[in-house]
Amino acid sequence: MAKLTIHADSPLQTINRNIYGHFSEHLGRCIYEGIWVGLDSPIPNTEGMRNDVLEALKKLQIPVLRWPGGCFADEYHWKDGVGPAEKRKRMINTHWGGVLENNHFGTHEFLRLCELIGAEPYISGNVGSGTVAEMSEWVEYMTFDGESPMANWRQENGREKPWKLTYFGVGNENWGCGGDMRPEYYADLYRRYACYVRNYGDNKIFKIACGANSADYNWTEVLMREATKYMDGISLHYYTLPTGVWKDKGSATDFNEQDWFNTLEKTLYMDELITRHSAIMNTYDPDKRVALIVDEWGTWYNVEPGTNPGFLYQQNTIRDALVAGVNLNLFHHHSDRVRMANIAQVVNVLQSVILTEGADMLLTPTYHVFDMYKVHQDASYIATEAVSPSYEMDGKQIDQLSASASLNADNQLHISLCNLHHAETLEVQCDIKGHFGRAISGLVITSDTMDAHNTFEEPNAVNTLPFTDYRVENDVLLVTLPARSVVTLCLQ
């Protein structure tokens, strides 16, 4: 049995809704086919964007969407993607598959997508191969309401009033695909570029610096030492690889019990990463003004057999649902510093919430976890203390239980619980301090097998179901979690 103490009598910081952000890159079939099918497509669409995907993303209440990359961001020149589609420059996507990019999906289309699904845009600017002037003019084009060459050009291209743009990333992975830079060099470059990411009118830009790759704590140290006062956020990228080896990351669907355990063990490493990067940030920013932005996270497996290796297309099983639940719980626990996160990626790439094939679309197990967890957005974080049985495999052990809780404006207490074990159920004794709603409801996502996933032939093989396996004894809530399950309870 696991014991969970929930301090509902002492709500803490707000869980920023942007923790539930997503990421869309010009990579494989994420943008083209996944979101954009064009105005003349037989697939039902709104202004070239497929209706089924728009509706699914809207239902998910995505708060913020990152674009255009990723590695693509630092080879993207925004002026190639505005104006009449037939006159836009074509290019080769050298990072992802060597395919032709026709730039039909550009600034106007992305910002319209955000309007259609109710998300705020988060744009990544080009530091690696771009110029200060190019970045400055992009911000001017999008946000300036007045007389200027860029504002006039925006109006000529069909947008009279500027957009509201809050989140802007000054480069992406500049330690790698964004320029192979040293942190000292990037810190100075960041200060220079960020200086020209200006605020126009009442639009206030939240400037995000390129942060570390996984456990590169020196990068965080240098950036915080040299540029803290010039940034509002700093990013962190970490992907879960079952094998830990980039050349052979493991299969998305053909895996055994050891692979299952390894995946969850490596997912839990996110806790150490956030803790240690946050400790460095605390030295230079004790008031926690600067946000930690985990703007790339999720599982990364070998691509599906027979697909373009540069498209990063992978299936999504109940294992990925557990990865999503565990990470979201961790982000809740660190929500005093983590104020945005963006799972990679939204459609057809890596740990997607949606897969498409022609006119068909399906929702993945990860989608259902995000849908179940969206009740935590903008709620007050509730501290929890867990005493969990160990889940052991090959001499290693992790906690079997992952949990988090929040209290919303309607005084509803939501408790999210993950049973990480591949085969064993788990009873959880919940001692709730200060709040005990007698009306209880719940949802669960689980499966009969470790590799269960949705296909276009069986799109609902893994889905959310009502959850009722709980009882109250002597004012203690007892919950029995199925093996490999994610549960969210609502008490009111």
* Active-site option among 25, 137, 265, 296: 296
| Sequence-ordered alpha helix ranges (H) in 130-201 | 132-143, 149-156, 183-195
Q: Is 173 a catalytic residue?
A: yes
Planar angle of CA 227, 232, 234, nearest 5 degrees = 70
Q: Determine the Cα–Cα distance for residues 295 and 283; give it in Å rounded to an integer.
A: 22
Q: Is 109 a catalytic residue?
A: no
Shortest CA distance to 477 belongs to which of 434, 441, 444, 429?
429
Q: Determine the Cα–Cα distance for residues 167 and 339; give it in Å rounded to an integer.
A: 12
Q: Determine the Cα–Cα distance for residues 201 and 234; give it in Å rounded to an integer.
A: 25
CA distances for 26 relative to 30, 31, 96, 173, 470, angstroms: 7, 6, 8, 16, 45
* Active-site option among 75, 120, 173, 265: 173
Tell me the one-letter amino acid at 10.
S
Q: Determine the Cα–Cα distance for residues 255 and 133; give it in Å rounded to an integer.
A: 49
Q: Determine the Cα–Cα distance for residues 158 and 309; give it in Å rounded to an integer.
A: 38
Counts for the chain of helices (H) and strands (E), in that order: 9, 27
Could you tell me if 459 and 35 are in contact, meaning their C-beta atoms sit under 8 angstroms apart? Answer: no
Catalytic residue ranges: 173, 296
